[in-house]
Amino acid sequence: MSNQEQQVGYVVKQAQSLLRLRMEEALHPYALTVSQYSCLHHLLREPGISAAGLARATFMTRQSMNSMLQQLLERELVERPARPASGRALPTALTAAGVDLLAAAQAEVDGVERRMLSGLSPSELISLTHGLNACVKALGD
Amino acid sequence: MSNQEQQVGYVVKQAQSLLRLRMEEALHPYALTVSQYSCLHHLLREPGISAAGLARATFMTRQSMNSMLQQLLERELVERPARPASGRALPTALTAAGVDLLAAAQAEVDGVERRMLSGLSPSELISLTHGLNACVKALGD
DNA sequence: AATACTATGTCAGAATTCTTACATGAGCAA
DNA sequence: TTGCTCATGTAAGAATTCTGACATAGTATT
């Protein structure tokens, strides 16, 4: 293997790709994509968020998010009011079915994350998180 | 911000998304997508590789890679023989123009990577790489 | 030799996501 | 008030990537 591929950027991409693959496998029984799971996951923690805010939190465009929310609405996993109370933002939240499905799916995804970190000591995990956050900060505008 | 989002998986995704965004910006003047750049980058280090091997190295399907190679062939940045010498694999390599474009683009991308790592000490960088590689290993089959 | 298995390339179509564009509502300043 | 700016939602279309399927070539197995 070429040592150029050991550049940090490549390893970040490799880790993210593999994590996504394992998450896809874990979420398959629940008929959820990783993007859909991320959406539900964030909705549990920030109910009433707008689609645009949700898109920012999950690194998508607001157009893609609205497209995805349509599917989740049809499956009755999320709900939105027909009209905004004020402004244009439509506050989105999980339904009871959405909460239940998320809970089941999250148990699987948590297992994937535990597997990912299984080779790291607590101090190594702290170093990893610290390093990644430093990368995010340095790349932020 | 919810502390659940501080899970390592989320930070990995955040770092990768931001890195991709900065790379897109850096590559825009060269009319290269990040995927195309990754392809050219790997071709420099492993000339004669098959499209399927290239796909594995860049985390895509071989169908997508062949689709992308068509564009790079039309731009005469890469070249492939019309018929395989043996077997089915078509060995792919950079053209002189591909080497030149890659060199210019890589200078920009290297700057992005330096920026990403600018807040890390040498030992922190080693810890980060070590942690990411441990994640990859643990998630591998 | 005959068969099975694996890897590669390719085709067709679907799914996802993005880009571009426009309309609407809120806040702010002149 | 009027105009400007920003954020949100939405629509239409393009671009990218994936899934499923099939044919071919090499290799291994029986």
Residue B97: how many CA atoms within 13 Å on its side-chain side? 9
In this prediction, residue A45 carries a pLDDT of 96
Give the gap in angstroms from C-alpha A18 to the nearest C-alpha of chain B.
7
Per-residue confidence at B5, pLDDT binned at 50, 70, 90?
Answer: low
Mean pLDDT of B7-36: 97
Residue A96: other Cβ atoms inside 10 A? 10
Q: Does B12 touch chain A (CB under 8 A)?
A: yes
CATH topology for the A27-139 domain: Arc Repressor Mutant, subunit A (1.10.10)
Tens-digit pLDDT string for chain A (141 aa): 434 457 999 999 999 999 999 999 999 999 999 999 999 999 999 999 999 999 999 999 999 999 999 999 999 999 999 888 888 999 999 999 999 999 999 999 999 999 999 999 999 999 999 999 999 999 997
Give the gap in angstroms from C-alpha A123 to the nearest C-alpha of chain B.
10
Cα–Cα distance for residue pair A127/B125, rounded to 1 Å:
9
Cα–Cα distance for residue pair A80/A94, rounded to 1 Å:
9
Mutation to test the B interface, candidates A46, A132, A133, A141, most B Cβ within 10 Å: A132
Cα–Cα distance for residue pair B76/A62, rounded to 1 Å:
36
Q: Does A114 touch chain B (CB under 8 A)?
A: no
Cα–Cα distance for residue pair A101/A30, rounded to 1 Å:
8
In this prediction, residue B15 carries a pLDDT of 97
Place of tokens 């040498």: B122
User: From the Cβ of B70, is strand D under 7 Å away?
Assistant: no
Cα–Cα distance for residue pair A128/A88, rounded to 1 Å:
40
Is residue B37 within 8 A of residue B109, CB to CB? The reply is yes
In this prediction, residue A112 carries a pLDDT of 97
In this prediction, residue A5 carries a pLDDT of 53
Q: Which residues contact B131 (CB under 8 A, 6 or more apart)?
A: A120, A124, A125, A127, A128, A131
Is residue B37 within 8 A of residue B23, CB to CB? The reply is yes
Where in chain A are the domains? 27-139
CATH number of B7-139: 1.10.10.10
Is residue B64 within 8 A of residue B39, CB to CB? The reply is no
Residue B24: other Cβ atoms inside 10 A? 14
User: From the Cβ of B78, is strand C under 7 Å away?
Assistant: no
Q: How far is the CA of A18 from the C1' of C20 (A)?
A: 33
